[in-house]
């Protein structure tokens, strides 16, 4: 027999979607805790407009916890210099699990090399890649 489809009210969906964007929980953990499927949460996040900002929100949360809260910036010049140094570290030295334990710079270099490879195999004037 098929299972009965559950219907959730808007406040529940919003609460769960907001919980899913917090760094402490993965979407799968929130889904398990709330008794819903992770795909539902992702859809609710898109509907609520949260998914568009999730990457920026997580980035700024990391910046705050890994840099801003640890340093005593005295003025905006210190903030600019400190954040410039942090983003240099973030892009060139900090390993990212979501990027296959690579830095953003390493991933970018890999993608550029692959793009160059594909372009070298394209049919002149068409941009299409030859199949072999």
pLDDT in tens, 19-69: 766 656 677 777 787 888 878 777 777 766 665 566 777 788 889 899 999
129's CB contacts (< 8 A; 6+ apart) are 118, 121, 122, 123
Query: What is the reported pLDDT for 76?
Result: 92
116 vs 25: CA distance, rounded Å: 38
pLDDT of residue 29: 79
pLDDT tens-place string over residues 82-129:
999 999 999 999 998 878 889 999 988 988 888 888 877 765 655 555
Note the pTM of the prediction, 2 decimals: 0.51
What is the model's pLDDT at position 132? Answer: 45
Number of Cβ atoms within 10 Å of the Cβ of 30: 21
Supply the pLDDT for residue 93: 94
């Amino acid at each position: 027999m098929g299972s009965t489809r559950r219907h959730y009210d808007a406040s529940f969906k919003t609460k769960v979607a907001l919980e899913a964007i917090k760094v402490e929980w993965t979407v799968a953990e929130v889904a398990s805790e709330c008794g819903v499927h992770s795909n539902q949460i992702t859809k609710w996040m898109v509907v609520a407009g949260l998914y568009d900002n999730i990457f920026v929100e997580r980035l700024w949360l990391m910046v705050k916890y890994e840099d801003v809260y640890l340093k005593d910036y005295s003025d905006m010049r210190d903030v600019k210099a400190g954040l410039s140094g942090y983003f240099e570290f973030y892009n060139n030295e900090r390993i990212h699990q979501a990027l296959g334990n690579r830095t953003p710079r390493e991933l970018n270099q890999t993608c550029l090399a692959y793009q160059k490879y594909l372009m070298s195999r394209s049919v002149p004037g068409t941009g299409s890649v030859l199949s072999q």
